[in-house]
Amino acid sequence: MCDRLLVTRTATDTLRWTGEKGLVSASVYEELSRKYDSVGENLTNEIATLHAEAGFLAREELAITDRKCLLVAKSTLQDLLRQGAISADVFRRLVSDIDTELQEVG
């Protein structure tokens, strides 16, 4: 369902771009805008309903996203250390904080 929402948003962005460039008539732009907005709103509502009905999915998505972000932060710190932008002490302290958060996330 999230992939359908992404496709709809991509279509909306493409329509917006073609409309701004004058590549489609105003009536076609308006009709498709209403269609894509409606589909996007329906999908967003369906996703919200699924998350509400299955709270564990929302919590799992949150944990997965949190873990990914923490791993990116850790990787960024490693890059900064290699580049000499931060000291080894700063790196160790910040990575320790991230590792603690990663353990909490699971």
* Cα 3 from chain centre: 12
Q: How many residues does the chain have?
A: 106
Give the Cβ contact number of residue 43 at 10 Å. Answer: 19
**The one-letter amino acid at 21:** K
Q: What is the pLDDT along the chain (106 residues), one digit of tens a residue?
A: 678 888 888 999 999 999 999 999 999 999 999 999 999 999 999 888 887 777 777 788 889 999 999 999 999 999 999 999 999 999 999 999 999 999 998 7
Domains in the chain: boundaries = 1-53, 55-106
- Reference 37, options 64, 15, 20, 56; nearest CA is 15
Residues contacting 102, CB < 8 A, separation 6+? 67, 70, 71, 74
